[in-house]
Chains A and B, each alone.
Chain A
């Protein structure tokens, strides 16, 4: 491998890797927050007394 190829490989993989990891983490956090909101809403609905049951 020559100098230029090594340089491009090193820089490309470092930046692509870091960018991928950052985007993956942000997406994962957003997905988990959405899931948590859904679960919390379900739990609240189950806890709340129903007006139709008398």
Chain B
């Protein structure tokens, strides 16, 4: 990617994030339905997490898809630039995955746990949540591997394999709640979504805005992380030259 285009894309995505988040907050507060009047909704305020939880999860899945594609590209071409881009995408994807997991946990505690039940145990015995935890742990291991494996080629090769295999949990997470009828997790969009949970109207529109904002956030953070990794490499080269110079 050309440096000029990359800088432009970084600025445009930053502008989209800075405009998009206030718009998303406005929509969440003033346009989204007021669920406090619905008797079956136990936590109407917490339900507004809906506009941040799925978008951050979807953005993390896109980030992991980028890691998957770049991992295959690295294994084919052994070009360290692919590895650097994959590493940047994995870090940002992991951050978004963490947001999705944390907000989902808080939401699940409020909505799923019944009186007398251990709320955390209820959330973490849900199959879809478990698959997402596996995904999160896989990419935590991917990032740790980056710290503890020596040699850039060996590190890149192992990371690429890890990233490609780790991506399997993404479609698994999509399928889990659709295939298991005991799943508590609602499927709000896409093929196989629950008819009573499928979103439409204002809620669907706000979710789409949320997804676009998180997508812009991913693009911005990815390019920014890529810029930092490139600068670190260039600095390391010059520092090595400085050390070698008598």
Contact = CB atoms under 8 A, between A and B. Distances in A.
Partners in one complex: yes
A26 B238 contact: no
Interface in A1-54: 1, 3-4, 6-7, 9-11, 13-15, 17-18, 21-22, 25-26, 28-29, 32-33, 35-36, 39-40, 42-43, 46
A52 to B, nearest CB: 19
| A contacts with B: majority SS | helix
A3 B48 CA distance: 11
B242 A43 contact: yes
Given A6-B110, A10-B106, A14-B52, A32 B242 contact: no
Given A3-B43, A35-B235, A25 B103 contact: no
Interface residues of B, number: 35
Contacts of A42: 242
Given A7-B46, A10-B106, A14-B103, A32 B245 contact: no
Given A26-B224, A43-B241, A6 B235 contact: no
B232 interface: yes
A22 B217 CA distance: 9
Contacts of A11: 49, 52
A32 B238 contact: no
A11 to B, nearest CB: 8
Given A3-B45, A22-B224, A32-B235, 11 more contacts: A3-B46, A4-B45, A6-B43, A6-B109, A6-B110, A10-B46, A11-B49, A11-B52, A14-B102, A25-B221, A36-B238
Interface of A: 1, 3-4, 6-7, 9-11, 13-15, 17-18, 21-22, 25-26, 28-29, 32-33, 35-36, 39-40, 42-43, 46
25 contacts: A3-B42, A6-B43, A6-B46, A6-B110, A7-B45, A7-B49, A9-B106, A10-B106, A11-B49, A11-B52, A14-B52, A14-B102, A15-B21, A18-B99, A21-B95, A22-B17, A22-B221, A22-B224, A25-B224, A26-B224, A32-B228, A33-B231, A39-B235, A43-B241, A46-B245
